[in-house]
Structure 1
Amino acid sequence: MLRKILSYGTVSGLIVGGALSVIVLTLGDQMGHGAIGMLVGYLTMLVGLSLVFVAIKRHRDVDLGGVIRFWPAFGLGLGVSFVASLFYVIAWESALAITGMDFAGTYASAVIERQKAAGVSGEALAKLVADMESFKTHYANPAYRWPMTFAEIFPVGVIVSLISAALLRNRRLLPARRA
């Protein structure tokens, strides 16, 4: 099972990490911090994490004779998601190092500008600016940044694992083909 987790997790991680790297390396500081950027990011995660479903199905059909219980399927999905999430963190860190991008500064400026456009001013704006300065300071620390980056993708993997395990415990769903 560990071999399946590592192999499917690696391929999944290469998909999500590769897509993330391409986006960061081509767009750099121009990355969208709005709804479109988030949509593209999470769709890419779903595409990469679709290998969770494939891993569970293949394990069910090839190794277990077409039947799998929920918890073992969920555990396999979590393992694949964990490995893929590690690749995602490594890809993000690598892209930041290669480009020298100031993600925290760009993000903080975008948040402040969005709030100014919404009419926030005075004391509320001053508090937001202070919060964003604190965010930039914290984000410069890898011990803060790495778990934050991991937390972007791993919950998506948990949801994909839950859905995949729930669906694939039904042996009539996409049954194995007989030779």
Structure 2
Amino acid sequence: MKNTVIKFGVYGFVFALLVFLSGLYFGQDVDYSWGEVIGYATMIASLSFVYFGIKHFRDKENGGTITFTKAVVIGLLISLFTAAGIALADFIYTTLINPDFFKEYTAVMRQEGYKGEIPDYGSGFMAMIMFLTVMIIGLIISLLSALILQNKN
């Protein structure tokens, strides 16, 4: 199980880091709503390694069987790697590539009529929020993958 988690976790980490960072960098002129779509699509694509990791473990390392619980655990562990990749990409972007991101985002929100407070929590906090967001999506994908791939025979 450890080898599968590390292998597919690293795949997810590298994919998430490179694709999310590329999307942020090359999408700087894209409307924020489209940026969100691209961001969530990248998260889901990165988390596809959860399904493939569980399937690999079931078929190649565990004799064609896997329980629901073990599949969820494998999925969540792979999700940790992917979430770390997205969070790191977000942190790099908001500290090195576009340190004015929060000011720009606040200006756009004000321009669109948002009147509430938009605090600048800083890059570290926002990276943590991205990590947690990916983990929540990873939990959902892990549960769905476990339901699809489980068999106790």
One fold, TM greater than 0.5? yes
- Looking at structure 2, the residues matched to 68 and 27 of structure 1 have their Cα atoms a distance apart, in angstroms, of 40
1:88 to 1:141, Cα distance in 2 relative to 1, 3 A? closer
- Looking at structure 1, the residues matched to 135 and 112 of structure 2 have their Cα atoms a distance apart, in angstroms, of 28
How far off its partner does 1:70 sit?
0.3
Gaps of 5+ in 1: 117-124, 173-179
| Superposition map of 1:1-179 within 5 A | 1-28=1-28, 30-34=29-33, 36-115=34-113, 125=115, 128=116, 131-132=117-118, 135-136=119-120, 138=121, 140=122, 142=124, 144-170=125-151
1:20 to 1:75, Cα distance in 2 relative to 1, 3 A? same
1:32 to 1:67, Cα distance in 2 relative to 1, 3 A? same
Gaps of 5+ in 2: none
- Runs of 4+ aligned residues of structure 1 deviating over 3 Å after TM superposition are none
Q: Is the 8 A contact 2:16 2:86 kept in 1?
A: yes
Q: Is the 8 A contact 2:13 2:83 kept in 1?
A: yes
SS of 1:101's partner is coil
Identity %: 23
* Residues matched between the structures, number: 153
Q: RMSD value over aligned CA atoms?
A: 2.0
Which one has a bigger Cα radius of gyration? 1
TM-score, structure 1 normalization:
0.77
Query: What letter matches 2:129 in structure 1?
Result: M
- Looking at structure 2, the residues matched to 40 and 100 of structure 1 have their Cα atoms a distance apart, in angstroms, of 18
